[in-house]
Amino acid sequence: MLMEIYGFGSGLLTDLYELAMAAGYIETGFRARATFELIVRSLPNRRNFLVAAGLDQALDFLENLSFSSEEISYLRSVPVFRHIGDNFFDYLRDFHFRGEVLAIPEGTIFFPGEPVLRITAEAAEAQIAETAMLALTNYQTMIASKAARVVLAAEGRRVVEFGSRRAHGIEAGVLAARASYLAGCSGSSNTFAGHRFGVPVFGTQAHSWIMAHDSEQEAFEEFIRLFHGETTLLVDTYDVHSAVETLIANGKKPRGIRLDSGDLVADSIWARKTLDRAGWNDVGVFASGDLDEDRIAALLHAGAQINAFGVGTSLSVSSDAPSLGVVYKLVELERNNSVRFPAKFSESKITYPGRKQVFRSAESGGRFTRDVIALESESPEMASSSHPLLRLVMRGGKRLSDVERGPEALAQARERCAAQLASLPESLRALDPPSSPYPVAYSEKLEALLTKVSREYGLQPEEVLRARGRV
């Protein structure tokens, strides 16, 4: 299922209305070059920034996007297409994405209103791609942004993603493992993510292993015998103190012990002292059990002696902010040798017209100071004091040769994310919202284009201001 969905790009992985609009374009002879931009409207609750993720899968999808004969036959049977002629279905038979894509590289920190992805293609092509682009970008960005908070809360201690069993589907579990590793987690319990993406995999044992044996001592000894030094033993099945003391008395040293319940502060402090007293200073204390960034921060503040954390549900579903306001909006249309700049002016959902670029300024030490969203044509004048975030990643429906894929793409994104997190203003690295958000502005020329387009729609300045309640 994973390879079928994310490896080959079925054209049916879209909403019906996308295909209906595509049919409308083809049947009416509406030929136009359309540019769509993908943005996040606003930050979710308690998010100070977002981490771009999912581009590798999005490009893979576009490269393989097509319709099989069986899929076209199915579409012919859908009632909405009952009166659609053969032109559209012939179009689908030869369909491939042939457009251009610019994107913010994975692992880049970004903010609301900033285009994460920009697609320019024939209108029908760009429309059919919409649903998958939103889904693939939304989910991994959401998870990576959550994981970055967890990693920051751990203050340099290892974090392992443990959430596959609670993810919304096995595919989601794999992609959550990927996005979490991208954002700084040390690895995942998901072995498919290890095989497919090169994510380091970790695991201990469940309470069932301990309970299946006649004694806790036997369960420990068998596991150590089988896996030698590659063992972290779960010590809270019956009694933490008894389990650790039994281990030490038998002289069978594991790599670490895991606490999954109880008083993690008191038990970790006691375990650390007991292990050190036995000369087992190199045996780590690993904690898991309904952890998130807030609980990790609270444990460390209380003095817990924990070397690493396993985080499950809160990561794989981003439990406190399980969705992003991601939208894919038409910003430019080239038809009959003329260019039009579409924009949306409905209240609180305004979209800025024109192809855009995001320019980031930083101080001499590398700390980010300000972003400006500008028209792409402003690049020469903006580039003198800042650098652009969007880069060309696909031309003619093919990924550029210097754009990595698979494990290589993930490794680079992980390095990029670590560097970007280190460059954030300190106030944005905290778990709570800063006194003032990171400054993101629109250029004067972009504002002027918005005003010009609004007048073409017959809107007055005060109506535009009202629509700009939020991006």
pLDDT at residue 1 tops 50: no
In this prediction, what percent of the chain has a pLDDT beyond 70?
95
| Mean pLDDT in residue range 60-79 | 96
Sequence-distant (6+) residues with CB within 8 A of 464 are 345, 350, 450, 451, 454
**What Cα–Cα distance (Å) separates residue 6 from each residue in 1, 132, 135, 175?**
8, 10, 12, 10
Q: What is the mean pLDDT of residues 377-404?
A: 91
Across 294-303, 435-444, 459-468, least confident range? 459-468
pLDDT band at 463, cuts 50/70/90?
low
Residues 52/107, Cβ–Cβ less than 8 Å: yes
- Give the model's pLDDT for residue 470: 43
Q: What is the pLDDT of residues 307-321, one digit of tens each?
A: 999 999 999 999 999
Assess contact for 268 and 287: CB atoms under 8 A. yes
pLDDT for res 462: 63
Please state the rounded mean pLDDT for residues 85-89. 95
Mean of all residue pLDDT scores within the chain? 93
- Predicted confidence band of residue 392 (pLDDT cuts 50, 70, 90): very high
Check residue 418 and give its pLDDT.
Answer: 98
Give me the mean pLDDT over the 183-191 stretch: 97
96 pLDDT more than 60: yes
CA distance 253 to 63: 51
More confident residue, 470 or 333: 333
Q: And the tokens for 456?
A: 């073409």
Whose CA is closest to 355, among 387, 338, 336, 379? 379
Question: Which one, of 74, 101, 1, 49, lies nearest residue 422 by Cα?
Answer: 49
Q: Is the dihedral of CA 130, 133, 135, 138 positive or negative?
A: negative
Q: Is 168 left (phi over 0), alpha (psi -120 to 50) or beta?
A: beta
5: left (phi over 0), alpha (psi -120 to 50) or beta: alpha
Give the mean pLDDT of 66-83. Answer: 96
**pTM beyond cutoff 0.85:** yes
- Residue ranges of alpha helices (H) inside 78-204 are 86-93, 123-153, 170-182, 191-197
Flag whether pLDDT at 26 surpasses 90: yes
CA dihedral for 174, 320, 134, 140, sign (positive or negative): negative
DSSP for 442-468, written as a single string: E-HHHHHHHHHHHHHTT--HHHHHHHT
Q: Look at strands 100-103 and 326-335 and give their pairing.
A: unpaired
Mean pLDDT, residues 187-211 taken together: 95
Task: Give the pLDDT of residue 65.
Answer: 95
Residue 466 is predicted with a pLDDT of: 59
Cβ-contact 9, 57 below 8 angstroms: no
What is the SS3 assignment for 413-436? HHHHHHHHHHHCCHHHHCCCCCCC
**What pLDDT is attached to residue 423?**
97
What pLDDT does residue 471 have? 45
Q: What are 281's two structure tokens?
A: 């200073």
Q: With CA atoms as reference, report the closest residue to 306 among 267, 280, 278.
A: 267
Helix ranges, 251-340 (H): 264-277, 293-301, 313-316
| 350-375 residue pLDDT tens | 889 999 999 999 998 899 999 999 99
Q: Please tell me the predicted confidence (pLDDT) of residue 461.
A: 61
Q: If pLDDT is split at 50, 70 and 90, which confidence band does 349 have?
A: confident
Buried b (16+ CB within 10 A) or exposed e, 444-458: eebeebbeebbeeee
The reported pLDDT for the residue numbered 293 is: 98
Least confident of 127-136, 223-232, 271-280: 223-232
| Average pLDDT over every residue of 334-361 | 89
pLDDT tens digits for range 222-264: 999 998 877 899 999 999 999 999 999 988 899 999 999 999 9
State percent of the chain over pLDDT 90. 87
CB burial class (10 A; 0-12, 13-18, 19+) of residue 188?
buried
